[in-house]
A = this chain, B = another copy of it.
Amino acid sequence: MKPRNAFYAQSGGVTAVINASAAGVIEAARRHKNRIGKVYAGRDGIIGALTEDLIDTSRESASFIARLKTTPGGAFGSCRYKLKGIDENRAHYERLIEVFRAHDIGYFFYNGGNDSADTCLKVSQMSGKMGYPIIAVHVPKTVDNDLPITDTCPGFGSVAKYVATSMMEAVLDVESMAKTSTKVFILEVMGRHAGWITAATGLASQKAGQGPHILLFPEIPWNEEAFLARVEETVRRYGYCAIGASEGLQDKDGKFLSESGLKDAFGHAQLGGVAPMLASLVQSKLKMKQHWAVADYLQRAARHIASRADLEQSYAVGKAAVELAVKGMNSVMPTIVRTSSRPYRWKIGVAKLSDVANVEKKMPRDYITEDGFHITARCRTYLEPLIAGEAFPPFERGLPRYVRLKNAPVRKRTATEFKL
């Protein structure tokens, strides 16, 4: 069988380690030259396929590809762009086939979260529904940690390590000044519907009384009265109160506290601003001095404090995706399977995309304490291995030495201009 080329693209919010998955895909493909020709990356995700804006990764040296493992963000560009179903928008799939055929693309690797798994699933159906032979494998990635089946999602462990470290540091700061200054500190973190990142801030509390004292999960309906009472009690007992809050905090009717009215391309509300809202509540109701931080992109881009476990898993799923593809497995996603927590042991498994797409894994109730304000020992056992180990990037003149690839375009072969 003649080798065919591969298409790889990054989708949705990028992470500190998504490029490690790219390196996994590209390096593994280079080892399977009998089956895979070149790896073409889509510039700006799937958009690069639709507009025939392909990047020839074979033009990048082995050392540059290796440096992807220490570089955050999306090296080829990512996008928020959701493909409709084949029946709803056949034209898009016909265009994909036109481009893929022109470049002899037989493998489709899509590196993303829930929405992207759905896109990958649809592409995998092109073989059956439209007669274009392609093998589509999803490479999991999402800081939200909300993909089902897999033990964890590449990208999450590094955010978890960042927010736990940052919270631990901020707590030492607040603790030391609480006598005459800030009494309440709030750190807002990502996690639209699932509280995994919020939970990770809880790892900073290693002893009773140590902050963070309160975690506000999207899974637990917001209760102003209970919150204020707990803040007051905590300040009375420990002199200060540190809080980890999810951007997706919502009331019992599911309305986001911070709803800004804006929506992203996937139709999700754009969030942000829970921390200042809580801070002003504390200020006005409890008259306590407060400070707040919103980590926003800093948390998901923080390659400088990436988790080694997460980095290794991110690379491993990229590599495994290629190995599954060359075995002819279509419409699947490599997963992380935990075989032991202490010591942490894991291996690569496989899930069907139809079981993954559009399913959100939230925090199990028994990972959250009964009062709804913290994580349980069970949750710690789950989380701790995911932040284990450091993997500092190289530094140069005081700053991380991150790589920017050449990203040389592949010459277009279709005559069509495609408008998105």
Contact = CB atoms under 8 A, between A and B. Distances in A.
Interface of A: 10, 13-14, 16, 44-45, 47, 71-81, 161, 164-166, 168-170, 172-177, 179-181, 185, 187, 203-204, 262, 264-265, 270, 272-273, 275-276, 283, 289, 291-298, 300-305, 307, 384, 386-390, 392, 395, 397-400, 402
B13 A74 contact: no
Contacts of A297: 169-170, 173-174, 185, 291, 293
A235 to B, nearest CB: 16
A77 B177 contact: yes
23 contacts: A72-B172, A72-B173, A73-B173, A73-B176, A74-B177, A75-B176, A77-B179, A78-B176, A79-B179, A79-B181, A161-B398, A168-B399, A169-B303, A173-B300, A180-B265, A203-B399, A272-B291, A292-B294, A294-B294, A295-B295, A295-B298, A298-B298, A390-B392
Nearest to A293: B296
Contacts of A16: 169
A177 B292 contact: no
A166 B78 contact: no
Given A265-B181, A398-B161, A399-B204, A176 B77 contact: yes
The 8 closest A-B pairs by CB, nearest first: A73-B172, A74-B176, A387-B398, A293-B296, A169-B301, A173-B301, A44-B179, A79-B180
A303 B304 CA distance: 13
B204 A164 contact: no
Contacts of A44: 179-180
Nearest to A73: B172
Given A72-B169, A164-B399, A177-B77, A292 B296 contact: yes
Given A80-B177, A265-B181, A295-B293, A172 B402 contact: yes
A224 to B, nearest CB: 21
A283 B179 CA distance: 39
Contacts of A173: 14, 72-74, 297, 300-301
Nearest to A163: B298
A394 to B, nearest CB: 10
A78 B384 CA distance: 32
Nearest to A182: B297
Contacts of A74: 173, 176-177
A327 to B, nearest CB: 31
Given A72-B173, A293-B296, A398-B384, A264 B301 contact: no
A302 B169 contact: yes
Given A297-B291, A298-B293, A399-B165, A181 B80 contact: yes
A21 to B, nearest CB: 14
B301 A304 contact: no
A42 to B, nearest CB: 11
B301 A291 contact: no
Given A304-B169, A305-B305, A181 B295 contact: no
B298 A164 contact: no
Contacts of A295: 293, 295, 298
Highest count of chain B CB atoms <10 Å: which of A73, A272, A300: A73
Contacts of A398: 161, 164, 203, 307, 384, 386-389
A273 B280 CA distance: 11
Given A298-B169, A392-B392, A10 B384 contact: no
